[in-house]
Amino acid sequence: MSADRPTTQHRPSSSPYLLSPGAYDDDATTIRALSDQESDSEDDQLMEASRSTLDLVQHDRTVLEEEEERERLLIRAKSSPTDGLRRIFGANPHDNGSFSVKIGKRDRSKRRRRELAALTSDRRRRRSSAQSNNDAMNLGEDDELMYEMEEGVCKAIDSDDDSRSESTVSSIFSDLDPRDIGSRGYCGSDSSCRVVSLITFAILILFSLLYLGAYKASSGYRISHHQPPNTISNGTSLFLPTTILISLDGFRADFLTRGLTPTLNSFIANGISPKYMLPSFPSVTFPNHFTLVTGLYPESHGIVGNTFWDPELKDDFYYTKPEKSMQPKWWQAEPIWATAEKQGVKTAIHMWPGSEAHIMGIEPTFLDKYNGSEALPRKVDRILELIDLPGEKDADIPPTITQRRPQLIAAYVPNVDAAGHTFGPNSTEIRTTIANVDKMLASILQGLESRNLTNVVNIVVVSDHGMATTSVDRLVQLEDLVDLNLVERIDGWPLRGLVPKRKEDIQLLYEQAKNHTAFMGFDDYLEIYTRETMPERYHFSKNDRIAPLWIIPKTGWAIVERPDFDVKLAQKEGKAYHPMGIHGYDHEHPLMRAIFVARGPSFPHKANSRVQEFQNIEVYNIVCDSLRVEPRPNNGTLRLPLKPVGLHSDGKTPPIENLDDQDPPKSTSSKTPVSTRSPVLQPTTATGHAGIPPPPPLKATQQSQGRPSSIIDRIIDKVKGWESDIFGFVGLG
């Protein structure tokens, strides 16, 4: 190879030098014209400049390599459309994160024109190279370079097709208009983008719904398979969620203001409670205790009274006859002990009304039958005895101990109700009973504290209703209101439900009761309803066990039948009426208010928290949640955690006052128009002369049902009145 490179000079167009611009044939001129149209001036500039053979050969080799690869890519794309798509959209590992997009039709047309010009130029160069081979033989360096160029082309042809394709795709994308790519993206058109977006959105919604359904299903699965919840240790034993529910029958809300309940008042100060809780109508024991453990109104659970007639069973329910009332046929709802036992939660039920009825064939793990004479200390011992049993999660339990601790303990305490009926709600005897019940609660709480269970076990204390004082002067003889010869059965007390012998006599009995009530001046003390006109707030119409006609006295009044109590004779002889305390009235009357107080790990509220007043249909859900048991559908809506509205001590609500026997709220229900027809029966004079209104209601401080029998009785009555006026509560009665 020569060491001296020949000097390049400008030659005229007739120069025989093969690589000079003037040596191109007519085809080359034509191709250049096409190149001029495409504004591709790089080759023109190179050709116009006088360059060495080495420079030209190097340039041509580069162009040939690029154009050869581009030609092969186009051929492969035409022969294999799928492969072409893969090349365009496939990831290139050598691209350093570059991406591919779909090329528009306008870009492809422009690309084809450029590639056609490049291919034509390539053919021209090959012909020029062939013609100059003989003339350049004396130039060893040029010959060697041409050989290397041809070898390079062959190597490029024999190299991996994918590598060439990837580099070619990169060169294609380098010529694309970025604005066109950004505006079209992966979609061929705006409509395509919208379709893709809608499909994507629908898929996301579908997956969200599937996820939500799977979550709910898994939650239900955990509940139904009794997966154990978190446990709490008192230092010696592991406790699953545990709740003690205690019902104080007949404990009126304002009993808390009499200075007799330091334990309950302290319990309120450290727990959460409403000012009072409303019972359900009618405010009697069996319907309300079944409401407490089912969350249902009496019309829904079927125990519509302490006594009632079932027209389908053609049988009478009477609560004091357990051989009949404890038959499963009467109980139409699932109580909380059945709900819990079905979900693997052990329960212990102590004397709760209805617990002996084998409801749904599901028995509590522990069942204590009713014993009205059981002493209060024995109840304390029984509750703590159940708490002391080993738990399900405790280790090293002796094999001789087979019983396990229940998570729900529900205990019934009838003492306050019994004293209220016998002696009246303002008697000395009921004061003693209230104090004793408070001491019983103190013993239970002290027992839990000594076991380090104050913050481990939930305590819920409730009552079922209140109590009102009776008087012989607030009695109405039923026979004075309706013709009992038309009546088949009489339900309830002190309110009376009438079941006529013939259905067509319902309207007649209704008109009799309305007319005689008005004629005798009892309009303000008695309300007459059919099942259809019953106030909606009572929720006491949608059950065939509810009698079709009701005479409902205002609080403190009672309706009696002459064989049981002759009102006229009693007033003449100065006899007292017994019982001296009764309930069952309008559940919204202040004297019927009950209590609800709770404390424990399921009630993590600030001490002395106050919640809005609620009805006792809410207790079932609350207790179920405290046990982490899924409740059955019911009429309640409250769920844990409770939402306080303040503190009892914040002064936003007045404290509970000691109540006199007040008139209940006026009914908001519509009433059937009273017939103007003359009464069928003539009124008797049992409650006074015809047309003369009965005496007004007595105050709660008037304890004597008849005349005082001695000077001492008169003095006691006076002291009671003074104490009530000065201190706001009855101190001696």
Confidence of residue 66 (pLDDT cuts 50, 70, 90): confident
Q: What is the pLDDT of residue 126?
A: 61
Cβ atoms 188, 196 nearer than 8 A: no
Three-state DSSP state, 461: strand
Which of 718-723's residues contact partners 24+ apart within 8 Å by CB, and which partners?
720/426
Element (H, E) at 529: strand 526-530
Per the listing, tokens 């013939």 go with 502
Distance CA 161, CA 690 (A): 120
Distance CA 268, CA 460 (A): 11
| Highest mean pLDDT: which range of 15-19, 583-587, 680-684, 717-721 | 583-587
Confidence of residue 660 (pLDDT cuts 50, 70, 90): low
Q: What is the pLDDT of residue 207?
A: 81
The CATH number that domain 480-577+670-700 falls under is 3.30.1360.180
The token duo for 341 is 């036992």
Least confident window among 13-27, 442-456, 634-648, 682-696: 682-696
Confidence of residue 168 (pLDDT cuts 50, 70, 90): very low
Cβ atoms 439, 263 nearer than 8 A: yes
Q: What is the pLDDT of residue 64?
A: 67
Written as one letter, the residue type at 465 is: H
* pLDDT, tens only, 590-640: 999 999 999 999 999 999 999 999 999 999 999 999 999 999 999 999 999
Per the listing, tokens 């094999």 go with 399
Contacts of 371 (CB under 8 A, 6+ apart): 351
Least confident window among 60-64, 243-247, 447-451, 548-552: 60-64
Classify the phi-psi angles of 398: left when phi > 0, otherwise alpha if psi is within -120 to 50, otherwise beta. beta
Q: Rounded to the nearest 5 degrees, what angle is found at the Cα of 670, between the Cα atoms of 667 and 672?
A: 120
* pLDDT, tens only, 352-403: 999 999 999 999 999 999 999 999 999 999 999 999 999 988 888 888 888 9
How far, CA to CA in Å, does 369 sit from each of 302, 326, 352, 356, 364?
A: 22, 11, 8, 7, 12
Mean pLDDT of the chain: 77
Residue 535 DSSP label: -
The token duo for 696 is 């007004």
Average pLDDT over residues 691-700: 35
**H helix count then E strand count, the chain:** 21, 23
46 pLDDT more than 60: no
* pLDDT, tens only, 439-448: 999 999 999 9
Indicate the CATH number of 238-392+403-470+578-587+599-658 among 3.30.1330.100, 1.10.150.120, 3.30.70.3340, 3.40.720.10. Answer: 3.40.720.10
Distance CA 60, CA 192 (A): 44
Q: What is the pLDDT of residue 78?
A: 55
Cβ atoms 580, 424 nearer than 8 A: yes
Cβ atoms 415, 376 nearer than 8 A: yes
Two domains, one topology: 238-392+403-470+578-587+599-658 and 480-577+670-700 = no
Q: What is the pLDDT of residue 651?
A: 74
| Cβ neighbours of 704 (radius 10 Å) | 17
732 pLDDT more than 80: no
Give the residue from 556, 593, 587 showing the smallest Cα distance to 665: 587
Note if 285 is an active site residue: yes
* pLDDT, tens only, 541-551: 999 999 999 99
- Parse the chain into domains and list their residue ranges: 21-186, 190-225, 238-392+403-470+578-587+599-658, 480-577+670-700, 706-733
End-to-end CA distance of the chain: 137
How far, CA to CA in Å, does 650 sit from each of 430, 608, 613, 614, 658?
A: 31, 10, 16, 20, 20
Average pLDDT over residues 422-435: 98
Q: What is the secondary structure of 616-641 as a DSSP string?
A: GGGHHHHHHHHHT-PPPS-S----SS
Three-state DSSP state, 469: strand
| Bridge pairing between strands 468-469 and 581-582 | antiparallel
Average pLDDT over residues 249-275: 98
Q: What is the pLDDT of residue 446?
A: 98
Cβ atoms 153, 65 nearer than 8 A: yes
Q: What is the pLDDT of residue 75?
A: 64
Distance CA 122, CA 128 (A): 10
Give the residue from 151, 136, 108 showing the smallest Cα distance to 52: 136
| Highest mean pLDDT: which range of 146-160, 248-262, 670-684, 716-730 | 248-262
Q: Say whether pTM exceeds 0.85.
A: no
| For the chain, percent of residues with pLDDT exceeding 90 | 55
Average pLDDT over residues 271-275: 98
* pLDDT, tens only, 283-335: 999 999 999 999 999 999 999 999 999 999 999 999 999 999 999 999 999 99
* pLDDT, tens only, 86-140: 444 444 444 444 444 444 445 555 566 666 666 666 666 665 655 555 454 444 4
Q: What is the pLDDT of residue 394?
A: 82
Q: What is the pLDDT of residue 87?
A: 47
* pLDDT, tens only, 490-538: 999 999 999 999 999 999 999 999 999 999 999 999 999 999 999 999 9
Give the residue from 680, 682, 705 showing the smallest Cα distance to 575: 705
Confidence of residue 674 (pLDDT cuts 50, 70, 90): very low
150 pLDDT more than 80: no
The token duo for 611 is 């919640």
* pLDDT, tens only, 181-226: 444 444 556 677 778 888 888 888 888 888 776 655 554 444 444 3
- Determine which one of 243, 285, 347, 555 is catalytic: 285
φ, ψ (nearest 5 deg) of residue 63: -65, -45
Higher pLDDT, 119 or 249: 249
Distance CA 387, CA 377 (A): 16
| Cβ neighbours of 374 (radius 10 Å) | 16
Least confident window among 20-29, 360-369, 554-563, 651-660: 20-29
